[in-house]
Amino acid sequence: MENMNNEEKDLKQEEAAAVNEELTDAVNEEQKDCKEGKNSKKEKKAEKKASAKVAELEKRIAELEEKNNKFEEKALKDKDDYIRLMAEFDNFRRRTAQEKLDLVSTASEEIIKGILPILDDFERAVKALAETEDSASAKEGTELIYNKLVGFLKSKGLARIETEGKDFDTDFFEAVAQFPVQEEDKKGKIFDVVQAGYTLNGKVIRFAKVVVAI
Protein backbone atom coordinates (compact mmCIF):
# COMPACT_ATOMS: atom_id res chain seq x y z
CA MET A 1 0.00 0.00 0.00
CA GLU A 2 2.79 2.31 0.83
CA ASN A 3 4.53 1.46 -2.44
CA MET A 4 1.40 2.30 -4.39
CA ASN A 5 1.15 5.62 -2.69
CA ASN A 6 4.74 6.39 -3.56
CA GLU A 7 4.13 5.47 -7.20
CA GLU A 8 1.07 7.67 -7.37
CA LYS A 9 3.05 10.43 -5.77
CA ASP A 10 5.84 10.05 -8.28
CA LEU A 11 3.32 10.00 -11.15
CA LYS A 12 1.68 13.15 -9.94
CA GLN A 13 5.05 14.81 -9.64
CA GLU A 14 5.92 13.80 -13.21
CA GLU A 15 2.58 15.08 -14.48
CA ALA A 16 3.07 18.31 -12.58
CA ALA A 17 6.54 18.67 -14.04
CA ALA A 18 5.19 18.08 -17.57
CA VAL A 19 2.42 20.60 -17.07
CA ASN A 20 4.93 23.06 -15.61
CA GLU A 21 7.19 22.54 -18.62
CA GLU A 22 4.29 23.11 -21.02
CA LEU A 23 3.32 26.22 -19.15
CA THR A 24 6.92 27.44 -19.24
CA ASP A 25 7.13 26.81 -23.00
CA ALA A 26 3.83 28.60 -23.53
CA VAL A 27 4.99 31.56 -21.48
CA ASN A 28 8.32 31.65 -23.35
CA GLU A 29 6.49 31.46 -26.69
CA GLU A 30 4.14 34.23 -25.67
CA GLN A 31 7.05 36.38 -24.50
CA LYS A 32 8.82 35.69 -27.78
CA ASP A 33 5.73 36.71 -29.75
CA CYS A 34 5.36 39.83 -27.66
CA LYS A 35 9.02 40.68 -28.22
CA GLU A 36 8.71 40.13 -31.96
CA GLY A 37 5.58 42.26 -31.97
CA LYS A 38 7.41 45.05 -30.19
CA ASN A 39 10.31 44.79 -32.64
CA SER A 40 7.86 44.91 -35.55
CA LYS A 41 6.20 47.99 -34.10
CA LYS A 42 9.60 49.64 -33.65
CA GLU A 43 10.50 48.84 -37.24
CA LYS A 44 7.20 50.21 -38.50
CA LYS A 45 7.66 53.30 -36.37
CA ALA A 46 11.22 53.72 -37.68
CA GLU A 47 10.02 53.23 -41.27
CA LYS A 48 7.28 55.77 -40.76
CA LYS A 49 9.75 58.23 -39.29
CA ALA A 50 12.21 57.63 -42.16
CA SER A 51 9.41 58.11 -44.72
CA ALA A 52 8.45 61.40 -43.06
CA LYS A 53 12.11 62.50 -43.13
CA VAL A 54 12.42 61.58 -46.81
CA ALA A 55 9.23 63.48 -47.59
CA GLU A 56 10.55 66.48 -45.68
CA LEU A 57 13.87 66.32 -47.53
CA GLU A 58 12.11 66.02 -50.89
CA LYS A 59 9.96 69.04 -50.01
CA ARG A 60 13.08 70.95 -48.99
CA ILE A 61 14.84 69.96 -52.22
CA ALA A 62 11.83 71.11 -54.24
CA GLU A 63 11.84 74.45 -52.41
CA LEU A 64 15.57 74.88 -53.02
CA GLU A 65 15.17 74.02 -56.71
CA GLU A 66 12.36 76.57 -56.99
CA LYS A 67 14.52 79.22 -55.30
CA ASN A 68 17.44 78.32 -57.55
CA ASN A 69 15.23 78.66 -60.64
CA LYS A 70 14.08 82.08 -59.42
CA PHE A 71 17.68 83.12 -58.79
CA GLU A 72 18.67 81.97 -62.29
CA GLU A 73 15.74 83.85 -63.83
CA LYS A 74 16.67 86.98 -61.87
CA ALA A 75 20.34 86.60 -62.86
CA LEU A 76 19.37 86.31 -66.54
CA LYS A 77 17.08 89.34 -66.24
CA ASP A 78 19.78 91.36 -64.46
CA LYS A 79 22.28 90.37 -67.14
CA ASP A 80 19.85 91.35 -69.90
CA ASP A 81 19.13 94.67 -68.15
CA TYR A 82 22.87 95.28 -67.75
CA ILE A 83 23.57 94.57 -71.43
CA ARG A 84 20.66 96.82 -72.47
CA LEU A 85 21.85 99.57 -70.12
CA MET A 86 25.40 99.35 -71.46
CA ALA A 87 24.07 99.50 -75.04
CA GLU A 88 21.98 102.56 -74.18
CA PHE A 89 24.96 104.19 -72.46
CA ASP A 90 27.19 103.44 -75.45
CA ASN A 91 24.60 104.94 -77.80
CA PHE A 92 24.32 107.96 -75.50
CA ARG A 93 28.11 108.34 -75.44
CA ARG A 94 28.33 108.09 -79.23
CA ARG A 95 25.44 110.49 -79.70
CA THR A 96 26.93 112.98 -77.25
CA ALA A 97 30.33 112.78 -78.93
CA GLN A 98 28.70 113.26 -82.36
CA GLU A 99 26.70 116.21 -81.07
CA LYS A 100 29.91 117.78 -79.75
CA LEU A 101 31.60 117.25 -83.11
CA ASP A 102 28.57 118.66 -84.92
CA LEU A 103 28.56 121.65 -82.58
CA VAL A 104 32.23 122.35 -83.20
CA SER A 105 31.78 121.81 -86.93
CA THR A 106 28.71 124.06 -87.06
CA ALA A 107 30.46 126.77 -85.08
CA SER A 108 33.50 126.71 -87.37
CA GLU A 109 31.21 126.56 -90.42
CA GLU A 110 29.40 129.72 -89.39
CA ILE A 111 32.69 131.51 -88.74
CA ILE A 112 34.15 130.49 -92.09
CA LYS A 113 30.92 131.44 -93.86
CA GLY A 114 31.32 134.89 -92.35
CA ILE A 115 34.90 135.09 -93.66
CA LEU A 116 33.99 134.15 -97.26
CA PRO A 117 32.79 137.67 -98.25
CA ILE A 118 36.07 139.04 -96.90
CA LEU A 119 37.92 136.42 -98.97
CA ASP A 120 35.97 137.58 -102.04
CA ASP A 121 36.96 141.19 -101.37
CA PHE A 122 40.56 140.09 -100.90
CA GLU A 123 40.55 138.35 -104.29
CA ARG A 124 39.11 141.40 -105.99
CA ALA A 125 41.71 143.58 -104.29
CA VAL A 126 44.54 141.32 -105.47
CA LYS A 127 43.20 141.41 -109.06
CA ALA A 128 42.75 145.16 -108.90
CA LEU A 129 46.30 145.68 -107.60
CA ALA A 130 47.65 143.49 -110.39
CA GLU A 131 46.14 145.90 -112.95
CA THR A 132 47.47 149.06 -111.30
CA GLU A 133 50.85 150.74 -111.33
CA ASP A 134 51.27 150.48 -107.57
CA SER A 135 54.61 149.43 -106.16
CA ALA A 136 55.61 145.80 -106.37
CA SER A 137 56.08 145.68 -102.60
CA ALA A 138 52.42 146.64 -102.03
CA LYS A 139 51.25 143.96 -104.45
CA GLU A 140 53.57 141.40 -102.90
CA GLY A 141 52.47 142.26 -99.34
CA THR A 142 48.78 142.02 -100.23
CA GLU A 143 49.26 138.67 -102.01
CA LEU A 144 51.24 137.38 -99.01
CA ILE A 145 48.42 138.23 -96.60
CA TYR A 146 45.87 136.75 -99.01
CA ASN A 147 47.84 133.50 -99.33
CA LYS A 148 48.17 133.23 -95.56
CA LEU A 149 44.41 133.63 -95.17
CA VAL A 150 43.71 131.03 -97.87
CA GLY A 151 46.24 128.65 -96.32
CA PHE A 152 44.63 129.00 -92.89
CA LEU A 153 41.14 128.36 -94.28
CA LYS A 154 42.37 125.32 -96.21
CA SER A 155 43.85 123.90 -93.00
CA LYS A 156 40.33 124.07 -91.52
CA GLY A 157 38.91 122.05 -94.41
CA LEU A 158 37.85 124.81 -96.80
CA ALA A 159 38.13 123.98 -100.52
CA ARG A 160 37.15 125.93 -103.61
CA ILE A 161 34.63 124.28 -105.91
CA GLU A 162 36.26 123.65 -109.27
CA THR A 163 34.32 125.13 -112.19
CA GLU A 164 36.59 125.17 -115.22
CA GLY A 165 35.36 122.72 -117.85
CA LYS A 166 32.79 121.21 -115.47
CA ASP A 167 29.26 120.16 -116.40
CA PHE A 168 26.52 122.07 -114.61
CA ASP A 169 25.64 120.17 -111.42
CA THR A 170 22.96 121.46 -109.05
CA ASP A 171 24.77 119.77 -106.14
CA PHE A 172 27.57 122.35 -106.47
CA PHE A 173 26.43 125.15 -108.78
CA GLU A 174 23.72 127.78 -108.86
CA ALA A 175 22.91 129.08 -112.33
CA VAL A 176 22.42 132.84 -112.37
CA ALA A 177 22.49 133.24 -116.14
CA GLN A 178 22.76 131.38 -119.45
CA PHE A 179 24.97 132.14 -122.40
CA PRO A 180 24.43 130.75 -125.91
CA VAL A 181 27.43 129.10 -127.58
CA GLN A 182 28.02 127.55 -130.98
CA GLU A 183 30.25 124.68 -129.85
CA GLU A 184 28.18 121.59 -128.99
CA ASP A 185 30.81 120.24 -126.62
CA LYS A 186 30.54 123.39 -124.45
CA LYS A 187 26.76 123.33 -124.05
CA GLY A 188 25.63 122.43 -120.53
CA LYS A 189 29.03 123.36 -119.13
CA ILE A 190 30.16 126.23 -116.91
CA PHE A 191 30.81 129.29 -119.09
CA ASP A 192 31.73 131.84 -116.40
CA VAL A 193 31.85 132.20 -112.60
CA VAL A 194 30.06 135.09 -110.93
CA GLN A 195 30.90 134.05 -107.36
CA ALA A 196 33.20 131.25 -106.21
CA GLY A 197 31.69 128.34 -104.28
CA TYR A 198 33.26 126.47 -101.39
CA THR A 199 33.03 123.21 -99.48
CA LEU A 200 34.01 122.67 -95.85
CA ASN A 201 35.24 119.17 -95.12
CA GLY A 202 33.31 117.91 -98.17
CA LYS A 203 30.08 119.78 -97.36
CA VAL A 204 28.93 122.60 -99.63
CA ILE A 205 28.69 125.78 -97.55
CA ARG A 206 28.26 128.09 -100.55
CA PHE A 207 27.16 127.16 -104.04
CA ALA A 208 29.18 128.56 -106.90
CA LYS A 209 27.15 131.13 -108.84
CA VAL A 210 27.81 130.47 -112.50
CA VAL A 211 26.80 131.23 -116.06
CA VAL A 212 25.84 128.12 -117.99
CA ALA A 213 26.56 127.64 -121.70
CA ILE A 214 23.54 126.66 -123.79
Q: For 104-124, how does the pLDDT look when each residue is reduced to its tens digit (9 = 90+)?
A: 667 788 889 999 999 999 898
- Please give the residue that has the higher pLDDT: either 104 or 170: 170
From the number of C-beta atoms within 10 Å of its C-beta (0-12, 13-18, 19+), residue 168 rates as: buried
In a domain, 120, yes or no: no
Question: How confident is the model over 119-136, as a mean pLDDT?
Answer: 83
- pLDDT over 70 (residue 196): yes
In a domain, 6, yes or no: yes
How far does the chain reach from its first CA to its final CA, in angstroms? Answer: 179
Of 71, 89, 110, which residue constitutes the final position of a domain? 110
- pLDDT over 80 (residue 18): no
Confidence of residue 2 (pLDDT cuts 50, 70, 90): very low
Are 18 and 103 within one domain? Answer: yes
Q: State how many domains the chain has.
A: 2
Its domain, for residue 204, covers: 157-214
Asked if 164 contacts 121 with a C-beta cutoff of 8 angstroms, the reply is no
Q: What percent of the chain has pLDDT over 70?
A: 79
In a domain, 127, yes or no: no
Are 35 and 97 within one domain? Answer: yes
In a domain, 143, yes or no: no
- Please give the residue that has the higher pLDDT: either 131 or 7: 131
In a domain, 201, yes or no: yes
User: Which pTM value belongs to this model?
Assistant: 0.54
Are 86 and 15 within one domain? Answer: yes
Are 12 and 87 within one domain? Answer: yes
> If you count them, how many residues does the chain have?
214
Are 101 and 40 within one domain? Answer: yes
- pLDDT over 60 (residue 205): yes
- Choose among 186, 190, 209, 206: nearest CA to 198: 206
